Amino acid sequence: MIYLVARVLKYRKALIPTPSFHDYERVISRMKHAKEPWAINGIADRVASLLSNCGSYDEESRSAHNREKERVFRALKEMDGILPFPPTVNYILCQWRKTDNLDDLLTHLLEKGLYLRDCRNFPGLENNFFRVGLRIPRENDLLLARLNVPLRFCQALRQDGV
């Protein structure tokens, strides 16, 4: 016999016996149908009702985000040693090709206060892949400026024969 624990009143619980596993599945199925897809609080409910008035803001935001995404992608594409992949989400996947070890780039940028998401732990992205999140233009400019520093640094190392 399988028992379900059900809340009765505020602090009491009751055991509801179910004679077989199939009855258990049926009870779960009925409970799922009685429940809302996901719960939202009162604030979220109020905000959702106001969103229909924000159509132009949504369009303008998407347009600005897409322009910024394209701008950052083009800038990354021009950098020697970084191979960016065309973005379809709010980050850009890149491959570091300047040195054999992505840690060279990650360590240098971390010392400068910039964190890149190391993607080498994802299957298929083990070979020096990282991603950069798209932010506001000022922060993206900072990212691009700091990404240029290690490239120049690596070029200097190669010229010195290191």
154 CB contacts (<8 Å, ≥6 apart)? 81, 98, 99, 104
Q: Mind listing the pLDDT tens digit of every residue in the chain (162 residues)?
A: 444 454 544 555 555 555 555 566 777 777 777 766 667 778 888 888 887 777 788 788 889 999 999 999 999 999 988 999 999 999 999 999 988 889 888 888 888 888 999 999 999 998 899 999 999 999 999 999 988 866 666 656 555 554
Q: How far is the C-alpha of 143 from the C-alpha of 55, rounded, in Å? A: 31
What pLDDT does 72 receive?
97
Fold of the domain built from segment(s) 59-159: Aspartate Aminotransferase, domain 1 (3.90.1150)
Prediction pTM value = 0.62
133 CB contacts (<8 Å, ≥6 apart)? 90, 91, 117
The residue to which tokens 């009751």 are assigned = 14
What pLDDT does 153 receive?
67
Structure token pair of residue 8 = 């009765």
102 CB contacts (<8 Å, ≥6 apart)? 96, 118, 120, 128, 129, 130
Contact 102, 120 (CB under 8 A): yes
What pLDDT does 1 receive?
46
Helix 102-111, helix 137-159: angle, nearest 10: 120
Q: What residue segments make up the domains of the chain, in order of their start?
A: 1-34, 59-159
